[in-house]
Amino acid sequence: VLFLSKLNSTDFWSIVILMEKLEKPTPPGGKRIYMDHAATTYLDERVKDAMEPYWIEKFGNPSALYKEGREARQALENARVDIASEIGARAEEITFTNGGTESDNLAIFGVAYTLKKNVGKNSDGVSLPHIITTKFEHHAVLSPCEFLEKNGFDVDYLEVGEDGIVNPKDVEKALRPETILVSIMLANNEVGTIQPIAEIGKILKNHKTLFHTDACQGAGYLNLNVEKMGVDLMTLNGSKMYGPKGIGLLYAKRGIKLEPMLRGGQQERRMRPGTENVPGIVGLAEALKNAQAEKDEESARVAELRDYFIKRITDEIPKVFLNGHPQKRLPNNINVSILGVEGEAVILYLDEYGIACSTGSACTSESFEPSHVILALGKPRAYAHGSVRFTLGKRNTKEDIDYTVETLKSVVEKLRSISAVSV
């Protein structure tokens, strides 16, 4: 509806009439086909079972000294130990938050406001703490950086290649004596490209700057060992790996001091005050354990489906182009630009056919701006407006893909028939 409201009245009613006339076949098995696992995942039954006792039976406040509180505290600390073990860290290096966005903010603002006083004068005699990131980070990183830029910090937003990979040499060239932080995501949330984090980590090892990575998208498919990656801070959340929503964590290497964003309690070593979400934390630990144990097998399975999907849509639908590197991408990610259509219209049509996917375009934006990620790849705005993302998960099958491809072919043909844009 938000998308349709942006159109003129002729286009609006053309699309409405077409949608009403759709013959809507039933997806395989009569189920809806969910292909937006980069947005969120369902809760794994094993995770649900692990969380269950902490809703009603073991409901105590972890800060309390009596039995109920001690039970909750034990569960919380056991989860912290388990998570640390999965990522090659120490338990005291894990801080629990309410999700990936808060963890990213805590990392960036925490470092910025702690280290800004340690930055000396630059060549112009001005003290400007310096941060390096890329143009196609998640807004949970870009927005804090933009805020800091308006408040006395200098930020470099590095370009990425046409394949969606940042060049480690560009990171090295951007380093300055006053650089306090580099923040580059492990895998992009829109196009799925996997960044050379370990290579960048080796470069930064010889510099005093801290290195943060948002690893939320990679948890179910990539190795998260913080030592091997060479990162000082890492963000994870539960909702991208079949865990609960509203829970995340920030790994911060021992010795790193972060200015907290919240005040008012002793919890999480005063880094994140407030009564801890024990069921969520327990679920996060279980989800991470499962994801890391099963990542190799699941990665191989979905990568085969991904490649089959990409080949079919690029071969069978004219003017469809893959965004991002064809191999160095998450095994479940398919992001394509379909020229001659708006991505939001494709999403609405596919939803009517029982298929859930997403688009990079900001359809809720007042300015209706296209995906900043696609534009960062150097693609024209038409590619960004026509971008559609399919991200596969554990329940997706080859039958799902065959149905989706056939449906997409029909939808694109219909939309192009009423489009004023020539392809």
Catalytic residue among 145, 216, 357, 363: 363
For 295-304, letters b (16+ CB in 10 Å) and e give beebbebbbe
Question: Of 216, 219, 181, which Cα lies nearest the Cα of 200?
Answer: 181
Residue type (1 letter), 91: A
| 3-class DSSP state of 345 | helix
| 3-class DSSP state of 11 | helix
Q: Which of the 8 DSSP states describes residue 216?
A: G
Annotated active-site residue 363? The verdict is yes
CB atoms under 10 Å from CB of 161, counted, come to 14
Sign, Cα dihedral of 261, 266, 272, 274 = negative
| Residue ranges of E strands in 289-394 | 320-322, 333-338, 355-356, 387-391
Q: Say if residues 294 and 44 touch (Cβ distance below 8 Å).
A: no
What token pair was written down for 125? Answer: 């005699």
Q: Which residues contact 73 (CB under 8 A, 6 or more apart)?
A: 62, 63
Alpha helices, H only, 21-167: 45-51, 67-87, 100-115, 139-149
Q: Say if residues 139 and 216 touch (Cβ distance below 8 Å).
A: no
- Round to whole Å and give the CA distance between 319 and 397: 26
Tell me which residues are annotated as active site: 363
